[in-house]
Amino acid sequence: MNFPIPVVHTVAEMRAFVQARRAGGERIGLVPTMGALHTGHLSLVDEARRVAERVIVTIFVNPTQFGPNEDFTRYPRTLPADCEKLAGVAADLVFAPAVEEMYPSGFCTTVSLEGPAKAELEDHFRPTHFTGVATVVTKLLNQAQADVAVFGEKDYQQLLVIRALARDLDIATRIVGSETLRDPDGLAMSSRNVYLSAEERARAPALHRALSDAARRIAAGEVVGHVMGEAREAIVGAGFDIDYLEARHAETLARVARRHDGPIRLLAAARLGATRLIDNVAVPSE
């Protein structure tokens, strides 16, 4: 198949690209994705381009981060359309490996996690998720040896997990978080938004509205527990089933009870029909 952008499928091919560009003095940016790209993903490419001359985008639907009842088999796989979009933002290379390339016969190693990976947030509802994420991201960082890797802040707990593993395992790649891109009504862009019915899509922005209102009120000095209780009522009233809605320390994900317990991030995961949405909002600093 012909693509409008160079596509490679093996680690050796990607490393050859990196070595050739680095020999010319160019810095390498990496944007790991699972494909089904939208404007939010493309903004990560733009962010990587600010600090690197060459940008590699990985497209790999990673089976190890899906639980047994999750949507691995129906997760959108749209490589030709993804490549068209990436050509439009001048990405330099797509790395789209097969499962067998990432997890060859006899593969038996995973990354063991504590810290932000054991915060009773995503890890409570998806207990194997971060082991899968951390293992594949560690592999991608080692495979590419990029100067910088960019991840979206929408998956905030994931971002902290990746920062921790890069620090703890002495991975030289600098991890950069990029601000969540949103539709005009506030809904965080996500590949899973396509699963929402028209009626669900109309209600979906209530999640971000409730988080934003709660962040503003906490910043203004209202009691954290009271504000979060009312945010929960608003989200449930909009038709969501909440997995979690929490105020946490923005750097450690430790629980917080007061505005002055540290920089605060509000994090939520909630289901609207069959679709699970996640979002987070920073509480403004004083």
Does 143 belong to an annotated binding site?
Answer: no
Q: Output the CA–CA distances (angstroms, integers) from residue 87 to 2, 27, 35, 110, 165, in the order listed.
A: 13, 19, 14, 34, 31
Q: Output the CA–CA distances (angstroms, integers) from residue 44 to 47, 53, 105, 137, 199, in the order listed.
A: 5, 14, 33, 16, 30
Does 179 belong to an annotated binding site?
Answer: no
Does 181 belong to an annotated binding site?
Answer: yes
**Two tokens at 108?**
């038996």
What does the radius of gyration of the chain's CA atoms come to, in whole angstroms?
Answer: 19
Does 40 belong to an annotated binding site?
Answer: yes
Give the rounded distance of the alpha carbon of 232 from its chain centre: 24
Does 43 belong to an annotated binding site?
Answer: no
Does 260 belong to an annotated binding site?
Answer: no
The secondary structure element, H or E, covering residue 168 is helix 156-168
> At what angle are helices 11-23 and 129-144 packed, to 10 degrees?
50
Q: With contact defined as beta carbons under 8 Å apart, do 119 and 248 qualify?
A: yes
Does 39 belong to an annotated binding site?
Answer: yes
Does 154 belong to an annotated binding site?
Answer: yes
Q: With contact defined as beta carbons under 8 Å apart, do 155 and 181 qualify?
A: no
Does 228 belong to an annotated binding site?
Answer: no
Does 273 belong to an annotated binding site?
Answer: no
Does 102 belong to an annotated binding site?
Answer: no
Q: Which of 41, 124, 129, 208 is catalytic?
A: 41
Q: How many CB atoms lie within 10 A of CB 3?
A: 15
Does 41 belong to an annotated binding site?
Answer: yes
Does 190 belong to an annotated binding site?
Answer: yes
Range list of H helices, 24-155:
39-51, 79-88, 99-102, 122-125, 129-144
CA 66 to CA 99: how far, in whole Å?
14
Does residue 9 have an active-site annotation?
A: no
Residue list for the binding site = 34-41, 65, 152-155, 158, 181, 189-192
- Which residues are annotated as catalytic? 41
Residue list for the binding site for (R)-pantoate = 65, 158
Residue list for the binding site for ATP = 34-41, 152-155, 181, 189-192
Residue list for the binding site for beta-alanine = 65
